[in-house]
Amino acid sequence: MKFHLQSPTANVVTGTGPGWVRVGATEYRSNLILLPDAVIEGFAPEGFAALNESDFAALLTHAPEMVLLGTGDRQRFPHPHLLQALSAAQVGVEVMDTRAACRTFNILIAEDRRVAAALIVARKASD
């Protein structure tokens, strides 16, 4: 049997740590939205405590079937009214700490799922 090195066809999280996430070879130190084919910086610029409805409604432009919300170094749940737009569009939401969201993202994209990971990466004094 021969083995062949293949380049991933989608974004893959290759590392995480306090205040950073590495996607492929690029390290990010700001909150971001991670899609199979794109990385969008600037999600929730003021951190978890300042999340609002528009942060989640904006995710719908990417047509995800599921959203993984990575809430930083610990799992925290947003108020349900913040997720109203996703719920109305029948988009599933899973809330977990950011490292778990990164691992789950990698698994789901390997299954060719259309997933969006909204990740709180940056460390804020208020969070």
Per-residue pLDDT of the chain (127 residues; tens, 9 = 90+): 555 445 556 899 999 999 999 999 999 999 999 999 999 999 999 999 999 999 999 999 999 999 999 999 999 999 999 999 999 999 999 999 999 999 999 999 999 999 999 999 977 545 5
Q: Is 61 exposed, middle or buried (0-12, 13-18, 19+ CB in 10 A)?
A: exposed
pLDDT value at residue 3: 57
pLDDT value at residue 25: 94
Residue 8 DSSP label: -
**Which one-letter amino acid corresponds to residue 50?**
A
Q: Are 68 and 105 in contact (CB under 8 A)?
A: yes
Q: How far apart are the first and last CA of the chain?
A: 51
Domains of the chain, first to last? 30-119 (3.40.1230.10)
pLDDT value at residue 10: 84
pLDDT value at residue 124: 59
pLDDT value at residue 6: 52
pLDDT value at residue 57: 94
pLDDT value at residue 7: 52
Q: Tell me the pairing of strands 20-23 and 38-41.
A: unpaired
Token pair for residue 117?
């990971």
